[in-house]
Amino acid sequence: MTETAVRSDAAETAAPPAGPQPLTFAKALNTALADAMEADPSVIMFGEDVGPLGGVFRITDGLTARFGEERCFDTPLAESGIMGMAVGMAMNGMRPVVEMQFDAFAYPAFEQVVSHVAKMPNRTRGRVKLPLVIRIPYAGGIGGVEHHCDSSESYYAHTPGLTVLAPATVRDAYLMLRAAIRFPDPVVFLEPKKLYWSKETLDLAELRKEADDDAATGSAVGLAVVARSGTDATLIAYGPSVPTALAAAEAAASEGRSLEVIDVRSIVPFDDETVSASVRKTGRAVVIAEAPGFASVASEIVARVQERCFHSLAAPVRRVTGFDIPYPSPKLEHYFLPSVDRILDTVDELQWEDA
């Protein structure tokens, strides 16, 4: 990231004025962390460079200055140690939030996540809770190199005991992170890096009221939403693929196709009801995700739709995903990532009576 970009992003994280104002995804997360730490002294934020620097993407900007080094602090470059410390803190009444800095940097901590984070409540028959959040900036679209742009959601979704969330809007970034921190069980919180600088006009005061409602946790965990209504086919996406799906639906409208877009939001637990209701209505479905398609979350969604909507389907459920290769170099990533053209080509391949 260039010095200019860093300065620009730091400016974005300045406190917004009252009332409806443009808010970035990054600022929404930053504010969610600050509000959670203000509301609950047991919330602790730590990781690599999250202290005075404010994190690589400035998500923790200003937290150390506001809450002190005991509550937002830097750690050594040792992800396994970061995760092990979080487990111990959570076992002893704290609510740690840790940042893995980049998606693939979390792999050294994976043994801790699978062996302890995911299993401790079950191992102790519920006597020991682990209310911790693992923040992972993930996926591509920023011109990053290998180890900086992985879509690793399948690893976590496959591990029983973990809740896996992937917001795609600025509003959800705030509400879902607040809900994740309040959640009694461990949460893997996937933050699409390419959406950090996206903006929405929102009223933070209203968001805070909604987040403080006890119902907010339930609405953020386990529920998908209809991001765009349609009648001809359903596009199912999460995280960084949602804006691409919406752009494809907009382009399809000019060609006479009405596409519904489902924002999954919560990968685990998965909202079968909302997704299935949409597919039963449209009769066709395309699942969109940046991760490689083999043995993926996209594969699981296809299977669940096929099982629940078989008699309503007019065509096989299709996928538009990343290719089954390691993440490519920055100059080639646009070939790898799902695009509007790839989505529309796949929609055209569905069985249409007017074809």
Catalytic residues: 148
Strand, helix or coil for residue 314: coil
Strand, helix or coil for residue 119: coil
167: left (phi over 0), alpha (psi -120 to 50) or beta: beta
What's the Rg (C-alpha) of the chain?
20
To 10 degrees, the CA torsion angle through 70, 74, 75, 78? 150
Q: Which residues contact 97 (CB under 8 A, 6 or more apart)?
A: 33, 36, 43, 44, 45, 46, 132, 133, 135, 181
Q: Which of 303, 305, 236 is nearest to 266 (CA)?
A: 236
Note if the bond before 137 is cis, omega within 30 degrees. no
Contact 285, 272 (CB under 8 A): no
Residue that is written with structure tokens 């800095």 in the block:
101
Q: What backbone phi and psi angles, to 5 degrees, belong to 244? A: -65, -40
- Distance of alpha carbon 256 from alpha carbon 227, whole angstroms: 19
Angle at 153 between CA 148 and CA 159, to 5 degrees: 130
